[in-house]
Structure 1
């Protein structure tokens, strides 16, 4: 069945300095889906996010939402949120003002606009930190500010580039729970880059594995368990073990000659 609404990525090629870094990539995703992108360093995951974000328009292909171009040249899409590996907070602004900063353009555009920044900071557990400066916040608290900022404009599309990397397990799990709670309420389409297969299997509806040179999607793997499982749970460990038993070199960006057929046979069984 054709995708009636949502995101379609159709890349024929992306080059840097004359070298092809992305090959043919075809991805369709519906509003509300949570899609994880997994693969080794250099597999093109962050490059692909940059194209979707409208930060790089120099590629051969098209990226559309509901059959219309997702972004105009030189402009990021409207109603898009982003979260990076680093929080990227303005050090001269309080936590609340860092979140409000993203609201400014929308407030100018919409009459009767009501700020959501304070409520979102409360929702991610920063009720007492509205007026705190970024350098007074722990790394995990800074990520929570960044998470609130990513949702303040009620994005229909949320791009996340390893947002919880290097965090300890309890802090990372708290942020993952906050993210999934916000996703459940706002229902954005999420593209989530991670190197951690357990994280992908615990959170996503589908996991897209990238590899080869130039990079492409090697495997589109549906996750048949509910979102939000603990990364250290038996179910996540079993899902990871099963997947890597079928495709031992998958995390190195290598699928294997018969892997697609094996995956198709299992889905039909």
Structure 2
């Protein structure tokens, strides 16, 4: 039985239909990447799952029960956005403690997480004294601070240089493999999706639905810049040349 069941019959913004008949399921411990054309509704879908937007037709369940109830946040949900969203008046450590139920007794976990992402030396540092990559590391530690069963990540490493992004991806995978939450990870970079995820969900052009639920046929560890990821991406494009445009038309010489 799946832990997460998502059934979005329709999501609108005014007259515009953003999502329609979009459905998938997943189990805790899986890592899913969401890929699709820009503006197709990937972030909107995360907002629905996270309970930040409740105005849609459909249902979202965890273990057969509603994941959230109107006006309440889902239990043990972690989120990481494109921007770090740190409180500028709080230190790195206090930004982690902010999300804890009992900061006094759970402070050791906050310190340990910052050490795990390489910021053990910066516990008392203010956000404006941290580089962009270091701020993302604080945000990553904060996302895992609640020991999430479900972690929603909306292009968390966008605009970072490759070495910084790779260090953060390594930290993410280490934390995920230890705690095993279900991860839903939005990205525009197919190589990133193939390097990180167990499954890649490709979304169609609007109104978006799941075009292809692709299980990555490679063992870990995988290297984003490696030849194996490049070859796998080429195989996907050879079979579905318009996949990233939101279409699933096979090439002319493909069997019916």
Instruction: Tell me which interval the TM-score lies in, with the shorter structure as reference length.
Output: over 0.9
The answer for the alignment partner of 2:23 in structure 1 is 26
Instruction: Structure 1: give runs of 5+ residues left out of the alignment.
Output: none
The answer for the alignment partner of 1:168 in structure 2 is 161
2:102 to 101, 107, 112: 107
Q: CA offsets per residue over residues 57-102 of structure 1, 9 Å max, x none? A: 1100000000000001022211000000000001110000001101
Maintained 8 Å contact 2:34/2:185: yes
Count of equivalent residues: 255
The answer for the alignment partner of 1:10 in structure 2 is 7
Distance in 2 (CA, whole Å) between partners of 1:171 and 1:228 is: 18
The answer for the alignment partner of 2:119 in structure 1 is 126
Distance in 1 (CA, whole Å) between partners of 2:65 and 2:251 is: 36
Taking structure 2 as the reference length, the TM-score comes to 0.95
Q: What's the secondary structure of 1:225's corresponding residue? A: coil
The answer for the alignment partner of 1:57 in structure 2 is 54
Maintained 8 Å contact 1:205/1:227: no
Q: CA offsets per residue over residues 175-207 of structure 1, 9 Å max, x none? A: 000000000110000000000000000000000
Maintained 8 Å contact 1:177/1:228: no
Instruction: Structure 2: give runs of 5+ residues left out of the alignment.
Output: none
RMSD across aligned positions (CA): 1.8
Maintained 8 Å contact 1:180/1:228: no
Which deviates further from its counterpart, 91-100 or 220-229?
220-229
Maintained 8 Å contact 1:87/1:142: yes
The answer for the alignment partner of 1:178 in structure 2 is 171
C-alpha spacing 1:220/1:5, structure 2 compared with 1 (3 Å): closer
Distance in 1 (CA, whole Å) between partners of 2:251 and 2:19 is: 23
Q: What's the secondary structure of 1:36's corresponding residue? A: strand
The answer for the alignment partner of 1:192 in structure 2 is 185
Taking structure 1 as the reference length, the TM-score comes to 0.91
Report 1:1-269 matches (<5 A): 4-103=1-100, 106-107=101-102, 115-256=108-249
Q: Which runs of 4+ in 1 moved over 3 A?
A: 111-115
Maintained 8 Å contact 1:55/1:75: no
Maintained 8 Å contact 2:241/2:250: no
